[in-house]
Amino acid sequence: MKPTVLVVDDEKTFRIVAEEALSSEGFAVTTAASGQAGLAAWQREPCDLVILDRHLPDTDGIAILEAIEKESRERGVDTLVVIATAYADVTSAVQAVKLGAFDYLSKPLQLPELVVTVRKALEAKRLRAQVRQLAGQLAGRTAAALGDFVAGASPAMAAVVDMVDKVAQATDTTVLVQGESGAGKEHIADLIYRRTPGRCDGPFVEINCASLPEALLESELFGHERGAFTDAKGTKRGLFEEADGGTLFLDEVGEMPMGTQAKLLKVLEETTFRRLGGTRDLTVSVRVVAATNKDLAVEVQRGAFRLDLYHRLDVFHIRVPPLRDRREDILPLATHFLARFAARQRKAATRFEPETERRLLAYDYPGNVRELRNLVERAVILSTGPTIEPGCIVISGPGLTPAAGPAAPAFFSVDLADGRPPSLDDVEREYIARLLQFTGGNKTQVARLLGVSYPTVAKKIADYGLG
C-alpha cells in the first residue's frame, strides 16, 4: 500500500505541483484548498502525513494542527504534520513543533526539499511503528516470563512482590534471593530490575556462578587485558562493565569459589575493580542481585562461604516460597501454562477436567514451578481434545508421594514382593509402559517425550518386553 499524503494549501499552483511531484515518487496524494476541507478529508480517512499551510483563508493552520493531534490521540492513529508557510519565523516554528508538528518548511518550497522532508517524515513514522511493535513484543515476552510466578494469587507471592516493589526504590541496595530450584528466583531478579527507576533503562546482565571454573568465572566477571593469560589475545570487558548503569544477576552465588568471593567483596564495598592483568582501577555503578538455593548462613558455618561477603550480599533478603507452600497458585499457574503451550503447539485444550485439577493439587512439586510448567507442557502434547484428561498428567522423577489432600492415583505400580525399592530399570520400564499407554503405542511420540532417538526407544521397548 502506498504511503498517503494530504496537502492542505489555498494556493492552487502549489497544490498541483506538490501533488505531481509526490505522486511521481510513489505517494498517494489528495489535496484540499482550505483548513476545514482538509480537516474533513482527514477525518474521513486519516492519512500518513499532512502538508499543512500555516496561513489559510478560513482558519489558522495551527488550529488545524491541534485538531489533528487531538483526534489522532483519541482515535489511536499516527499522522505526522509538516507546517509550510511563506512567513518563516522562529516563533511560528517553535509553536508548531511544540504542538506536535514533525517539521517546519519555508515557502516558496523547492520540490527536492519537499520530497526529502516527506520521505524523512514517513521513515520516522515507520520507525515509530516498529518501536511500538517491538515494545509490545517485549512487554508480551516479559509478561509471559513473569507470569511463571506472578500468575498465582497466593498471599505468599503477594508478599514477595510487595518486597520487590519496596527494594526497587532503593536503587543501589544489594539483594539476596533465596529459594529452591525452580521456584522462580531468576524471575524475581528480573522483576527487581524492571521496577527499579533509572536502572531499568540500563542493561540486565546475568551469569550462573556454578557453570564456570574459577579462572573463567573471574574473567567473565571482571574482564581481562591482552596477555593476562595464555589465551588472552585481546582486551575483554567483564560483566561488571557490561552491567554499568543497570543490574548484574549472580545466579547460584553459593557455588562461587572462595578466591572469586574475595574479589566480589571488594567490588561490592568499593565499586572498583581491575581486569585480570590490568593496572588501573575501573569504577562502575551496578546493582547486584544474587540468588541461591542454599542457606548461605549454613555455608558460612561449613567454611564454604565468606562471612563478610554473606553480610554484604544479604542487605535485603527475599525468600521465594516453594510451590507446595503456596498451593493457591497451582491451578492459576497451570492454567497460565496451558494457554501458553496450547497456543504454541496449536492444540485445542483450554481447560483441565475436575479430576485432573485434583491430581495437580495433590502433588508436592519438588521441582516447583519449573516442574509444574514441564508437567503441563507434557500434558498438552498428550492431549487430544478441548480438555486435559487425568491420564495426560505424567508425574515422573523424585517426589512421587502425593501431598495431603485428595488422593491421586500413583504413577508407578511396581510391586516388589521382597520390599526393596524399585531399581532404575524397574522405574524406566514402568515409565515407558505408561507412555506407550498414553500415546496409544506411538513409539515416535514416546521418543519425543523422553528426549531420545527412535532407535533407542525401540530397543528399550524390546528389551523390556513391552512390544
Q: What is the pLDDT of residue 143?
A: 46
Please report which confidence band the pLDDT of residue 410 belongs to, taking 50, 70 and 90 as the band edges. very low
- pLDDT for the residue 142: 46
Q: What is the pTM of this model?
A: 0.56
How many residues does this entry show for the chain?
467
pLDDT on residue 72: 85
Residue 401 burial (CB < 10 Å; 0-12/13-18/19+)?
exposed
Topology adopted by domain 325-463:
Helicase, Ruva Protein; domain 3 (1.10.8)
Query: Taking the alpha carbons of 226, 228, 233, 235 in that order, is the dihedral positive or negative?
Result: negative
> What pLDDT does residue 425 have?
72
pLDDT of residue 450: 75
Q: Would the pLDDT of 216 be above 90?
A: no
Instruction: Sketch the domain layout of the chain as residue ranges.
Output: 4-130, 152-321, 325-463
Residue-wise DSSP of 402-433? PPSSS----S-----TT-PPPPHHHHHHHHHH
Q: Which residue matches cell numbers 556454578?
A: 210
Confidence of residue 277 (pLDDT cuts 50, 70, 90): confident
All cell numbers assigned to 92: 511560528
R_g over Cα of the chain: 32
> Average of pLDDT values for 435-454?
76
Euclidean distance between CA atoms 185 and 146, whole angstroms: 11
Instruction: Read off the C-alpha cell for 177.
Output: 534471593
For the stretch 400-407, contacts whose Cβ atoms lie closer than 8 Å and that sit 24 or more positions apart, written own/partner, are 401/364, 402/362, 402/363, 402/364, 403/324, 403/327, 403/362, 403/363, 403/364, 405/361, 405/362, 406/358, 406/361, 406/362, 407/362
More confident residue, 104 or 292: 292
Which CATH architecture fits 152-321?
3-Layer(aba) Sandwich (3.40)
Best-predicted range by mean pLDDT among 67-81, 217-231, 436-450? 67-81
Q: In the structure, what pLDDT confidence band is assigned to residue 436 with cuts at 50, 70 and 90?
A: confident
C-alpha cell at 460: 528399550
Same fold, 152-321 and 325-463: no
Residues 6+ apart with CB under 8 A from 220: 207, 212, 238, 239
Residue 109 vs residue 172, higher pLDDT = 172
pLDDT tier, 290 (very low <50, low <70, confident <90, very high otherwise): very high
Confidence of residue 412 (pLDDT cuts 50, 70, 90): very low
Q: Is residue 171 predicted with pLDDT exceeding 60?
A: yes
Picking from 171-180, 251-260, 438-447, which range would have the lowest pLDDT averaged per residue? 438-447
Q: Is 139 a residue whose pLDDT tops 70?
A: no
Q: No. of H helices and E strands in the chain? A: 18, 16
State pLDDT tens for residues 383-392: 888 899 988 8
Look up the CATH superfamily of 4-130.
Answer: Response regulator (3.40.50.2300)
